[in-house]
Amino acid sequence: MRMTFRWYGEGNDSITLKQIKQIPGVEGIVWALHDVPAGEEWPMDKINEVKKQADDYGLNIDVVESVNVHEDIKLGLPTRDKYIENYKRTIEKLASVGVKVICYNFMPVFDWTRTELFKEMEDGSTALFYEKAKVVGMDPNELVENISKNSTFTMPGWEQERLSRLKELFEAYKGVTQEDLFEHLSYFLKEVIPVAEENGIRMGIHPDDPPWPIFGLPRIVCNKENIKRILDVVDSKSNGVTLCSGSLGANPSNNIAEMVREFADRIPFAHIRNVKVYENGDFIETSHRTFDGSVDIYEVVKAYHEIGFDGYARPDHGRHIWDEKCRPGYGLYDRALGIMYLWGIWDSLERAHRRN
């Protein structure tokens, strides 16, 4: 397991590369060019700038999250080919600086969805929270307003360029079924996976967050069956999944450890985090510790150890603790604690394995 840490760039993150370098076992950053609109080809000078920043601290830039997919591709519009060509060129550029994995998602309009960014927990920390009933009766514009209140940092998946077209996008998705969306994803994969394969890059689709349809929009990466179907579109290691225990774990029916074992050779990148799911369907993000949430993180890490996982992993969303001022879900302290919890499990498994 190769540990990484998501970083949003100089001037766009409360965390520095110097701090990341000091977290035990972290060897690289997970990054992106957040100021480049979805669909545009990434400029080489900006890619090289991030590489130099990471090089100065001895950190690799092997994992990119995300090269966003333009809505025209998801909608299957005739204009999609232009944006797919840009995507291919970006893949080639990223490969030229040593990138090995590209994480992406195929969620229509919205990326991750939460109703509160700083829900207070019993211990006084705060965390990202999803209130299911509230989403059912909520106007999407209200959700956008809530998310946009966090104006200090960019919010990946909630880019203003996209959200300013909300009414237009909802209109465009009327009548688009889950099967339509799957066909549009298949078209995209058949175009980009050969390019990724030629350039030694593995693509990893991120599960829907949460893993069910919202606001009447289709979702197609929600469970084991969905993932298997997507991986079967192009039978290549370059067509993989970013297995996110938190996104999938919001649905208690999803057995994450079982998925790790089933898709062992198709997981280039692992997001490991915990969520506490309530009987009414609400969920809140907790510490990574197994006993604090509903996902058995020990069993998940054990499954990765059993398959000999040598891909990349990162601690996913953390709580906001010790009065840290940070991007929602992406503080330093709780994610660093999460890394040490994951290493603790991994190191114990390693020692037990050597004894046997």
Nearest to 70 by CA among 178, 242, 187, 226: 187
Q: Which residues contact 220 (CB under 8 A, 6 or more apart)?
A: 106, 178, 181, 182, 185, 208, 226, 230
- Catalytic residue, candidates 70, 206, 288, 320: 206
- Catalytic residue, candidates 103, 222, 244, 326: 244
H or E element in which residue 120 lies? strand 116-120
Nearest to 338 by CA among 24, 28, 126: 24
Torsions phi, psi for 259 (to 5 deg): -65, -40
- Catalytic residue, candidates 70, 184, 305, 317: 317
DSSP character at residue 312: E
- Catalytic residue, candidates 13, 62, 316, 334: 316
Q: What would the two tokens of residue 144 be?
A: 């956008």
Is 326 designated active site? no
Beta strand ranges found along 1-58 (DSSP E): 2-6, 26-31
- Catalytic residue, candidates 130, 304, 312, 330: 330
H or E element in which residue 195 lies? helix 178-198
Is 317 designated active site? yes
Is 103 designated active site? no
Other CB atoms closer than 10 Å to residue 351's CB: what's the count? 10
- Catalytic residue, candidates 271, 288, 305, 320: 271
Q: Which residues are catalytic?
A: 206, 244, 271, 316-317, 330
